Structures are given as C-alpha cells and as structure tokens.
Amino acid sequence: MNRDFFGFRPFFYLAYAIVLTAGLLYLRFPTEKFKLFCEKRIESYLTGSACSIDRIAYHFPFSLSVAKFQLTREADGKRSVFRVDQCAVTPDFSNLFKTFDVSGKIYQGDFFLKLSIDGAEKSFQLNDLSVKGFNMDEWANDFNLLDRKLSGIVEYSGHYQAKFASPLDGMGKGKLVAVDGSMELLQPVLSLSNVAFERIAVDMTHEEKVVKFTGGEMSGKEINADFTGEMRTTSPFLNSSILLSGHLSPTEGFLTAHPEEKKVVEQLLRRYRKSDLPYKVGGSVGRPTFRFSL
C-alpha cells in the first residue's frame, strides 16, 4: 500500500492548489467584466430596473466585496432608488459554491444572511436574515414615491426563498420592529396629521405576492394600537392593495391635551360598545384610507 496516499503529500498538494488558485484570482481577477456581468444579470431578473455597482474587489482567499450597489426605477414620473453601501460575500467551505455568508451596510444599518443556491431547482434561499439599525428616513427619501414622511430605526429577522426567474414572488417569514419614529398621514386621525411611535412590532409572512401581518402592536405617547391584515403586492408597488384592521386607544395625555377629541372618542366608544376604538385601513399603499369601523 502506498503510504503517501494517506500521508502528508496529498494534503500538501491540495493546499498548494488552493493557494495557487487564490493567488491567480487575486492577481488576475476580471473586475470590470465581472461587475458588468453582475449588473446585467440583476437587471434581467428585475425588469424595469437599472443596476449600478461602483466597485467589486476580490479578497484573499475567496471573498468578494461590493461597494455602492444601487437599483434605480422610474415610476409615475419619479425616480426611486434602493442602495446597499457595502457588501461582502464569502463561500461556506462546508458547502462550497452553494452556500455563502453575505454581510454589509445598508441605510446606516448592518445586515447578515446565508445565501443558499440550488442549481437543479433554479432557486435560492436567504436564511438567518438579520437587519439592524436600518434608517427608514433615508430609505423613504430614496424610495421617493410615498409623498409623505416616514422615519424610525428598523430591525428585521427572518428567512426567504424564491426561484431565479421570479425573485420577488417567493415565500418568507419574519419579524419587523421599528422604534423612535413617526408616520405622516394623508388624512388626520383624531386631529393628528402625524403619528409618532416609540415602538412598532409585527410578524410577517410572504407567499404568492401576499404579505400577511399578524400580532401587530404600536405604542406611542399619543396613541396605542394593534393591527392585523394583509397587502397584495403588484407593480407599481404603490398600487398594491392593503387591508388592515385593529383597535386604537388614545393615551390619557393626548385626551387631556385635546378635550374636543376626547368628546369624539367618548361618543365612538359608546357607539361601538368597546373599550378601544375599532378601525380599518384599506385602499392602496399609495393612497390608503382610514375609518373607524367594526
């Protein structure tokens, strides 16, 4: 029996091959061609979007870094942008070239996920997805389609899977938490044209273009509320339909500072025979309507 077959030499050759391959990639990595390839491939998946990448760099031994990734779309005469400031992609050597660790910076926040690719099924999975410190104010300014102000710091955790051919039509589940923010309203609610919140938390599922919201809760200095419902997504996004229902409770501080609104609240509570005010939100994402209703 050849002892070298089970000895040090094969491992030396394997290590040499890995180092040589990594070195050649580092010295001769086709940066511009690969960047252009990535931009065109993403645009083919997201029809109607323009993709730009400022820089892609190879890092020893097998990692890639992406700087200033940006998607741009024109809708209703407005320019909408989504960007990722920085991203690093590293293969998982236990499942080489099928699973990757992806991390980076997005709208002042940090994100991490595990990307798994199934070539036979032509699909992908995003596992252990985590976003922290995401700035909604910056995102809303880039999104540029809502016609109202939105602010707060977001955390999100969950997972998602989809086919290559329809990356936005997959299945997923997660939890979103937003803190220290506000939402500008298209129509006043109890004389409030802007609702400030201390915390919003909601569980979300996504399947066949339907996003469902369960266990939603909002707390603030003026209003507390709960909600459930769903959003049926379409293109353009602002035409997506939304239907939410829940209960709203003005705080004592708000009622004391707004005696006229206190009278309205007392009348509504007597009408609905509830301890909190039932409400519904319907219409489209772009032009939602609010009403008190069972």
Q: Give 261's pLDDT tier (boundaries 50, 70, 90).
A: very high
Cα(83)–Cα(81) distance, integer angstroms: 7
Confidence (pLDDT) at 280: 97
Indicate whether 15 pLDDT > 90. Answer: no
SS3 76: coil
Cα(138)–Cα(115) distance, integer angstroms: 26
Indicate whether 5 pLDDT > 70. Answer: no
Q: 74 Cβ partners below 8 Å, 6+ apart? A: 48, 80
Q: What is the mean pLDDT of residues 14-39?
A: 59
Q: What is the mean pLDDT of residues 265-288?
A: 94
Q: What is the mean pLDDT of residues 150-154?
A: 96
54-90 burial: b if 16+ Cβ within 10 Å, else e: eebebeeebebebeebbbebeeeeeebebebbebbbe
Which range is most confident: 78-92, 112-126, 258-272? 258-272
Please give the full DSSP string across 78-110, using - where no structure is assigned: EEEEEEEEEEEEEE-GGGTTTEEEEEEEETTEE
pTM score, two decimals? 0.84
Residue 238 DSSP symbol:
G
Indicate whether 270 pLDDT > 90. Answer: yes
CA geometry: angle at 132 spanning 127 and 134, to 5°? 115
Beta-ladder partners of 175: 157, 203
Q: What is the mean pLDDT of residues 104-121?
A: 91
Indicate whether 66 pLDDT > 90. Answer: no
**Mean confidence (pLDDT) of the chain:** 86
Confidence (pLDDT) at 4: 46
Query: Domain locations in the chain?
Result: 34-292
- Residues 280-292 have pLDDT tens digits of 999 999 899 999 9
Please give the full DSSP string across 188-209, using - where no structure is assigned: EETTEEEEEEEEEEEEEEEETT
Per the CB < 8 A criterion, the answer to whether 244 and 280 are in contact is yes
Indicate whether 27 pLDDT > 60. Answer: no
Tell me how crowded residue 175 is: count the other CB atoms within 10 A of its CB.
Answer: 13
Residue 15 DSSP symbol:
H
Indicate whether 100 pLDDT > 70. Answer: yes
Among the ranges given (88-97, 150-159, 207-216, 239-248), the one the predictor scored with the smallest mean pLDDT: 88-97
Confidence (pLDDT) at 166: 81
Indicate whether 3 pLDDT > 70. Answer: no
Distances 71 to 54, 142, 159, 236 between C-alpha atoms, Å: 12, 10, 22, 15
Percent of the chain at pLDDT above 70?
A: 88
Distances 199 to 23, 151, 211, 282 between C-alpha atoms, Å: 49, 12, 21, 22
Percent of the chain at pLDDT above 90?
A: 57
C-alpha closest to that of 190 among 268, 133, 78: 268
Q: Is 100 left (phi over 0), alpha (psi -120 to 50) or beta?
A: beta
Among the ranges given (1-5, 209-213, 229-233, 241-245), the one the predictor scored with the smallest mean pLDDT: 1-5
Q: Give 33's pLDDT tier (boundaries 50, 70, 90).
A: confident
Q: What is the mean pLDDT of residues 171-181?
A: 96
